[in-house]
Each structure stands twice: as C-alpha cells, then as structure tokens.
A and B are shown apart, each in its own frame.
Chain A
C-alpha cells in the first residue's frame, strides 16, 4: 500500500548570519553570554526605539542568493509580521514578505548516480526571537533577549524533494555553500541552522498535492530523516483510514521518535503583514551585486579542481577534503608547515576522520592547530619517529593540541636507528626463542612476524621497523 503514495517535501531553512552585531542595532551577537547582557531598547522592543539595518546582513544575504542561483530583488523591503509571544518583544517580527531579497534560485544535489536540481522559491532576511527558559520553581517562563535581533535568512525551497536522502543531500549542499561563503557556521545542534520540513503525500502519479504539515524541532540530520519517514507513514495511515490530513504544525520529539500537533489551523495566526514604516526600502544597484559577485570566495567545485591540478591529489581525496570548508582550511594551512600535499591529505583522511568518527565530532569541532599536524608529519618524514609512535602522538595533537616536537623529545619517542644496539637486542631475542627460529627456518613466515613483534616490544615500539626487518633477515 505504501508504495502507492509519493512524498512531496519542501524545506524552510533558517540560518543565523555570522555578523558581529545584530540586524537592526549594534548589540553583539556573541553566543553563550550572560542573559540579557547583549540587549538595548531596539532589540527589547522599547517604544520609540528605531531600527537601522546592518549592511553586512544584506551583503551576506546577497552572497547566499547569488551562490544559490537566485535573482536578487532590486527593490527589496522589510515587513512586519504581527503576533504576540513573549520571545518577540515588539509584538511583531521584522521580516520580508512582499519583496524578499532573493528569488527563483536552485541548488544542484548529487545523489548516488544522478544529479537533481532543487528549486529555491525565495530567501528573506529577518530577525531572530529571544529565548524562553522554563522556570522549574515557579509556574512561569523567563525570557533572555540576547538572541533577539540576531540576523537570519530564511531559505524556502520549492516542494521538489521526495525522500529523506534528497533532503539530507540538499541540506548538506546548502550548508556547505553557506559555510564556504563564511556567512554562517550552520550548526544544527546549536541552532545556527534550523530546518522545518513541510511534507505531504499524494497518490502515485496524481497531479493534486495533498494537505501538508510542518515539522519543527529537528536538531540533527538523523532526526530529520526519521521525522520524514514517521510523518509520511502517519499521513498515509490517516488517509487509508479514510480520514483527512489536518494542516498543522507538529513538533518532533526525538527521544520518543514521534511528533505531536503544536497548534491547529483554527487558531493559526493572522499575521497582518505590512511594510515596516521604520525602515526605508532597499535599492540594490548592479554595482552592488557585481561587487558581491566578485568577492565571492572559492566555492567547493573550484577548490576541488584546484586540489587536483595544483596539489596533484587524487579526485577521491579532493572530494573528501572539500566536503567541509573547515577541513579544506586545515588542509591548506597544514601545507604551510609541510609541503607534501598527499601526506597531509592522508593524515586528514585516515587518522583525523577516524578520531572524528570515534568521538562523534564534525570537522568544525577540530581544535588542533595545522602547525602541530604539519610538524608531526615532518617528524615522520625525516625518520624522527615511526608510524606507530606517530599515531600515538597524533592522538595527543588531536585531543590536546600539543607541540609534537617537544612531546617526542620529552617522552623519548625518537625512533632508534642505531644498528649495533638493535643487533644486540635481536641476538638476545633469537637466543630466547629458539623454537620460533627453527619454525622460520622450516618455512613458517608467521614465526618471523612473531620475532619482529618481540623486538618491537623490547624496544617499546621505538625501533624503526624497516631496520628491524632488515637486521632479522640478515642474521637468520
């Protein structure tokens, strides 16, 4: 039965822009500060306070618009969206309804073997709301307005998506593009990127769209995928029971893996949008658009191409390293310390990604300095340390950002290349393990491995394995 339905999904993505001040006042946007310390009469909605637009917000919004193939609206304007809620001190949110900054764009997503173009209906600039904290002791809520007035863009896609995989591919592509532009760090967990999923189902091949619901409170790609599957199934069940899907906003509960209706259409707000008289219209010139276009940073496609041409990296490496702007930055900065692109790439693709995965971290969470990684690689290249030791030292670099040169020195980890000293140790081991020596001479390669292992053990892993192999073969 389920196969007879298709899913239609459109996304509304809110992204917090990386400005240092708010959209309409000069309060700081810094995250995690003491409550209500980054506020002023404007962002607390005091009567008579007047908003003044932050130019950088328009620059970033245009940069995102251009990078997503949108048309920039030359006569753009702000509107008031009216509603009462304590996180919104003015009783209206300044947003854009009639003339959003950008429209009619698209993003190309890569699926397993094909590409798909996902339309962007429009993108508008608006202000964020404050934060409500539930008071455990009193039957009340507390409001912190530090986030009130932080600049956002909302990117509204066309309903061109049809599966969780496509949704995640779209979001990853969008996030990467915005991160490359430096317009936002786009962290789902911290709320600098928020995704609302509009979903409906319809009979296979039917032209008519079904009634859609809007899903909120999705804090990870995993939650988004799960919520899409659950909501699709829920709507199909409703329809198969002969009932109607109700147009409503639902809240995803990630612990219970289910959603519940937040408010129904009956009590839905009438936002009474109208042009904000406190803000004059924007008139965007061709020169301004040109200037933004010219200062766009190198985006992923170009970077990937350059890695292959300039650094002679395999396409596979270039693809993985450029998946996140942060990883690409670390790669390029490490090259300042160690001019061997392929070696640097290997350390990032193997050891770094291994530890990221083990710790459930994103490249954005990396704290070590490229200088320390570069130094570590250099130590392995000039034979200062062997690979086993290098991996151990790398963990120290990864977790504590230690200086590998000093660390190797202090802990006496330098590889031992002294042939005479090694010979002595090996002679002793051969005497202690006559059985293995005999086995090896009888043709058992395994016994050789055992003897190498014994040597490394005695040398506490500091011997140069190539040298150990060589000496062992010589003696035997």
Chain B
C-alpha cells in the first residue's frame, strides 16, 4: 500500500505540531497516520476525470454579512485563559523570536 511514514517525518510533524511525544506515543501516532494515508489511497482510486476541484462539498457561495459592529460582553472570555493580567492573556515571553 502506501509508503511507510519515516521517523524523520514523525520528527518533522512533531515540531510543526509543537508536540513532544514519548516513544510509545510516537509509534501509536505513526500507526494512526499510516491508516489515514491508506484511506486516502482508497479515495484516490476514484475516477475524478472531468470533475472540477472544489474546496467545499456544498454548492454554496458568498455567505457574507453587512459591515456592522456591536458592543459585546467580553467579561467571560478571559476566563478561558490559563493566566490573566491587566485584562491581557499572559503567555511565555516572545521578545526576540517575533514572527
């Protein structure tokens, strides 16, 4: 079937997903990802000749709203943050590594 996912690929994907996996978790994830790729192989057997590529399954376009702004109750929103200070969400220091 599909090419086996290499350890290098696993390392790369872990970096992109910002995950540090234990050896066991890594093997599990590798198996899951291989299953997914195998499923995609099945999909690729379909004959899509003459079919327009689409980003969506439904033929719906132009879902838009008018440019109106509303005042919102924001009091609850920060409660989801692990740490809050002066109305801001506290995150690890980012200076110097700016994107």
The yes or no answer to A121 lying at the interface (CB within 8 A) is no
What is the predominant secondary structure among interface residues of chain A facing chain B?
loop
> What residues on B are CB-neighbors of A139 within 8 Å?
93
Separation in Å of the A124 CB from the closest CB of chain B? 15
> What residues on B are CB-neighbors of A263 within 8 Å?
97, 99
Q: Given A36-B87, A142-B88: A282 and B61 within 8 A (CB)? A: yes
Q: Which of A254-299 contact B (CB under 8 A)?
A: 262-263, 269-270, 272, 275, 277, 279-283
Identify the stretch in B20-28, B36-44, B64-72 within 8 Å (CB) of chain A at 4 or more residues: B64-72
Smallest Cβ-Cβ distance to A139: which chain B residue: B93
Q: Are A34 and B87 in contact (CB under 8 A)?
A: yes
Q: Are B65 and A141 in contact (CB under 8 A)?
A: no
Q: Given A20-B68, A141-B95: A133 and B16 within 8 A (CB)? A: no
Q: How many angstroms from the CA of A54 to the CA of B55 in the assembled complex?
A: 20
Q: How many angstroms from the CA of A39 to the CA of B65 in the assembled complex?
A: 18
Interface residues in A, total, Cβ within 8 A: 58
Q: Given A282-B61, A282-B62: A142 and B89 within 8 A (CB)? A: yes
Separation in Å of the B85 CB from the closest CB of chain A? 6
Q: Given A26-B68, A28-B69, A85-B99: A141 and B94 within 8 A (CB)? A: yes
Smallest Cβ-Cβ distance to B72: which chain A residue: A40
Q: Which of B74-89 contact A (CB under 8 A)?
A: 74, 77-78, 80, 85-89
Separation in Å of the A43 CB from the closest CB of chain B? 10
Point out the residue from B54, B74, B90 that lies within 8 Å of A40, measured CB to CB.
Answer: B74
Encoded as 1 (CB less than 8 Å from any B CB) or 0, chain A from 419 to 433 comes to 000000000000000
> What residues on B are CB-neighbors of A41 within 8 Å?
77
Separation in Å of the A266 CB from the closest CB of chain B? 12
Q: Are B77 and A44 in contact (CB under 8 A)?
A: yes
Q: Given A77-B55, A281-B61, A282-B61: A56 and B94 within 8 A (CB)? A: no
Smallest Cβ-Cβ distance to B17: which chain A residue: A84
Point out the residue from B16, B62, B65 that lies within 8 Å of A283, measured CB to CB.
Answer: B62
Q: How many angstroms from the CA of A393 to the CA of B60 in the assembled complex?
A: 62
Q: Given A39-B72, A275-B55: A19 and B67 within 8 A (CB)? A: yes
> What residues on B are CB-neighbors of A280 within 8 Å?
56, 58, 60-63
The yes or no answer to A225 lying at the interface (CB within 8 A) is no
Q: Given A46-B80, A52-B64: A281 and B87 within 8 A (CB)? A: no
Q: Are B74 and A143 in contact (CB under 8 A)?
A: no
Point out the residue from A40, A56, A141, A145 that lies within 8 Å of B93, measured CB to CB.
Answer: A141
> What residues on A are CB-neighbors of B88 within 8 Å?
35-36, 133, 142-144
Smallest Cβ-Cβ distance to B61: which chain A residue: A283
The yes or no answer to B98 lying at the interface (CB within 8 A) is yes
Q: Are B99 and A40 in contact (CB under 8 A)?
A: no
Separation in Å of the A272 CB from the closest CB of chain B? 7
Q: Are B92 and A141 in contact (CB under 8 A)?
A: yes
> What residues on B are CB-neighbors of A455 within 8 Å?
none
Smallest Cβ-Cβ distance to B91: which chain A residue: A86
> What residues on B are CB-neighbors of A275 within 8 Å?
55-56
Separation in Å of the B75 CB from the closest CB of chain A? 10
The yes or no answer to A83 lying at the interface (CB within 8 A) is yes
> What residues on B are CB-neighbors of A29 within 8 Å?
69
> What residues on B are CB-neighbors of A475 within 8 Å?
none
Q: How many angstroms from the CA of A144 to the CA of B85 in the assembled complex?
A: 11
The yes or no answer to A53 lying at the interface (CB within 8 A) is yes
Smallest Cβ-Cβ distance to B63: which chain A residue: A280
Q: Are A27 and B72 in contact (CB under 8 A)?
A: yes
Separation in Å of the B88 CB from the closest CB of chain A? 4
Q: Which of A202-260 contact B (CB under 8 A)?
A: 251
> What residues on B are CB-neighbors of A20 within 8 Å?
67-69
Smallest Cβ-Cβ distance to A99: which chain B residue: B55
Q: Are A36 and B62 in contact (CB under 8 A)?
A: no
The listed residue with most A CB atoms (<10 A of its CB), out of B60, B78, B80, B91, is B91
Q: A77-B55, A280-B60 are in contact. List 5 more A-B contacts (CB 8 A).
A: A21-B70, A36-B88, A39-B72, A272-B16, A277-B56
Can you list 27 A-B contacts with CB-CB less than 8 angstroms, sorted by A residue number? A21-B70, A26-B65, A34-B87, A36-B88, A37-B74, A38-B74, A39-B74, A40-B77, A44-B80, A77-B55, A86-B89, A86-B91, A87-B99, A135-B85, A135-B90, A138-B85, A140-B91, A140-B93, A141-B90, A142-B86, A142-B90, A269-B16, A280-B58, A280-B60, A280-B61, A280-B62, A283-B62
In the A-B complex, list the 6 residue pairs whose CB atoms are closest, starting with the nearest.
A142-B88, A275-B55, A56-B67, A21-B69, A86-B91, A283-B61
